[in-house]
Amino acid sequence: MEIKVLKDILGANDQMAQNNQQLLDKHNVFAVNLMASPGAGKTSLVLETIKGLGGKVRTGVIEGDISSSIDSKKIAQEGAPVVQINTGGECHLDASMIRNALDNLPLADIELLLVENVGNLVCPAEFNLGEHRKVVVSSVPEGDDKPIKYPAIFLIANAVVLNKTDLLPYVKFDAGKFCEAVRGVNRKVDIFEVSCTTGDGIDRWVSWLLAQMGRK
Amino acid sequence: MEIKVLKDILGANDQMAQNNQQLLDKHNVFAVNLMASPGAGKTSLVLETIKGLGGKVRTGVIEGDISSSIDSKKIAQEGAPVVQINTGGECHLDASMIRNALDNLPLADIELLLVENVGNLVCPAEFNLGEHRKVVVSSVPEGDDKPIKYPAIFLIANAVVLNKTDLLPYVKFDAGKFCEAVRGVNRKVDIFEVSCTTGDGIDRWVSWLLAQMGRK
């Protein structure tokens, strides 16, 4: 019974995700779904990405949170169009929430849409949003065993961004072990080591993003 | 429809949680549910708590993970009885998983049961396990805004442990702001600042735990 209902929900979500992608494609908007634990640095990565793009790509943002508009205020300060979704308890974004957000974004004026999912390394993996790429943000203080403990989300990722590398001297974290664990789940995924605090590695991540969009 | 099914699930879970607590009480076992983001340091806190208790209290552990038995191996090395639950995708522990684990623990030989939930700051808040106390573990690198963004889990906590205080010099984190945010959600909750790396603050946390158990 429970499973049946879940299947129905996921089926309906996939349908709506396809509709979202059609709408995005119609406006030539490339959408990226950023998924991570709470506090891994998704918002900082959004901010550094916008800075790193240096105005080359017009970027919009959807901020997903259970509660508050702290993050969307930070984005708005950068001058990017942003819509805040408060899920009110839901542990993930779904396609219907994204559809509502798209209706409130100036799609004709955007080329790249960064979607910050709810901080959760489990549930967002199950819900397609209509995005073109899925990216997992992991962070050094979380430990190098996360891909082993939360394999599903690493499995579906097109890229993994390892954030907070500036903290490597202060915590027990083996970057080689982390990459090996990621590749154990997802052999081909691209991995980027960055620090949103120092800016290290952001250029490589931004280059990847531009290449995925078919831009230089 | 979806909500009705969810209510049924939660109602059945609460009933089973009550049964779990009766079973625990029958054996004079005091159970604590540790909830946190992935990588906040739940396993480290379990290990430091066992060390901090210094053999005064016979402690058993239930390790909840989606996948792997990394954590239970660490606990077993300390000589504590431990049962690993692999949820196989589920984003939280529930009362029926705990019941199965209790059947595999030597309850007559345990006074304290530490239950490490799946790393998730959202979903575990909804599922009672039959525990006597709920504790949220937060960590400095996650940022001081977590109580504002994930209020539900802080609301139901009997205590909040702020871990990784050894990283305070290296990250932007305002401990006063964090405590204020916690109190904004849950006025009376006890907050403990600890570092499982240096051992700082563990004594206060352990004293609280003993007091909750009615021990000195």
Q: What is the rounded CA–CA span in Å between residue A202 and residue A190?
A: 14
Q: How far is A200 from chain B (nearest CA, A)?
A: 16
* Lowest-confidence region among A3-7, A82-86, A177-181: A3-7
* Lowest-confidence region among A3-12, B63-72, B115-124, B127-136: A3-12
**Partners of residue A119 in chain B, C-beta under 8 Å:** 37, 121, 149-150
Partner-chain contact B141 A1, CB within 8 Å: no
The CATH number for A63's domain is 3.40.50.300
Residue B200: band (very low, low, confident or very high) from pLDDT cuts 50, 70, 90: very high
**What pLDDT digit, counting tens, does each position of B127-186 carry?**
999 999 999 999 999 999 999 999 999 999 999 999 999 999 999 999 999 999 999 999
**Partners of residue A70 in chain B, C-beta under 8 Å:** 145, 148-149
Partner-chain contact A39 B143, CB within 8 Å: yes
Residue B69 burial (CB count, 10 A): 14
Q: In what side-by-side order are the strands of the sheet with A190-193? A: A82-86, A59-65, A112-116, A30-36, A133-139, A159-163, A190-193
Residue A11: band (very low, low, confident or very high) from pLDDT cuts 50, 70, 90: confident
Q: What is the DSSP string of B116-167?
A: E--S-SSGGGG---S-SEEEEEEEGGG-TTHHHHSHHHHHT-SEEEEE-GGG
CA B41 to chain centre: 10
Question: pTM higher than 0.90 for the full model?
Answer: yes
**Partners of residue A89 in chain B, C-beta under 8 Å:** 122, 152
Q: What is the rounded CA–CA span in Å between residue B154 and residue B181?
A: 10
Q: How far is B120 from chain A (nearest CA, A)?
A: 6
pLDDT of amino acid B1:
41
Non-local (6+) Cβ contacts of B181 within 8 A are B144, B145, B146, B147, B148
pLDDT of amino acid A1:
42
Partner-chain contact A141 B39, CB within 8 Å: yes
**Partners of residue A38 in chain B, C-beta under 8 Å:** 37, 121, 142, 146, 149-150
pLDDT, mean over chain B: 95
pLDDT, mean over chain A: 95
Residues paired with A62 in a beta bridge: A83, A115
Q: In the predicted model, what is the mean pLDDT of residues B190-211?
A: 98
Encoded tokens for A215:
């831009």
The minimal CB distance from B67 to the residues A120, A123, A148 is found for A148
**What pLDDT digit, counting tens, does each position of A24-79 carry?**
999 999 999 999 999 999 999 999 999 999 999 999 999 999 999 999 999 999 99
* Interface mutation target, options A10, A66, A92, chain B, most CBs of B under 10 Å: A66
Partner-chain contact A2 B2, CB within 8 Å: no
Q: What is the rounded CA–CA span in Å between residue A164 and residue A186?
A: 22
Partner-chain contact B39 A142, CB within 8 Å: yes
Partner-chain contact B119 A149, CB within 8 Å: yes
Partner-chain contact A38 B142, CB within 8 Å: yes
Q: Is the pLDDT of residue A208 over 90?
A: yes
Dihedral angle computed from the Cα positions of residues A86, A89, A90 and A96, in that order, rounded to the nearest 10 degrees: -40
B14 is in which domain, residue-wise? 2-212
Q: In the predicted model, what is the mean pLDDT of residues A179-201?
A: 97
Alpha-carbon distances of B193 from A177, B119, B138, rounded to whole Å: 30, 20, 10
**Partners of residue B149 in chain A, C-beta under 8 Å:** 38, 65-68, 70, 119
The minimal CB distance from B123 to the residues A2, A38, A123 is found for A123
Q: Is the pLDDT of residue A170 over 70?
A: yes
Q: In the predicted model, what is the mean pLDDT of residues A157-170?
A: 98
The minimal CB distance from B145 to the residues A70, A123, A139 is found for A70
Give the chain A residue nearest B125 (alpha carbons).
A89
- What's the structural domain count of chain A? 1
Q: In the predicted model, what is the mean pLDDT of residues A118-141?
A: 97
Alpha-carbon distances of A134 from A178, B66, B84, B92, rounded to whole Å: 19, 21, 30, 23
Element (H, E) at A64: strand A59-65
How many residues are given for chain A? Answer: 216
Q: In the predicted model, what is the mean pLDDT of residues A132-150?
A: 98
Q: How far is B113 from chain A (nearest CA, A)?
A: 22
pLDDT of amino acid A10:
81
How many residues are given for chain B? Answer: 216
pLDDT of amino acid B147:
97
Partner-chain contact B66 A152, CB within 8 Å: yes
pLDDT of amino acid B139:
98
Expressed in angstroms, the distance from the first to the final Cα of chain A is 50
**What pLDDT digit, counting tens, does each position of A92-111 carry?**
999 999 999 999 999 999 99
The minimal CB distance from A143 to the residues B39, B149, B166 is found for B39
Q: What is the DSSP letter of B109?
A: G
**Partners of residue A5 in chain B, C-beta under 8 Å:** 1-2, 5
The minimal CB distance from A150 to the residues B38, B150, B152 is found for B38
Q: How far is A19 from chain B (nearest CA, A)?
A: 22
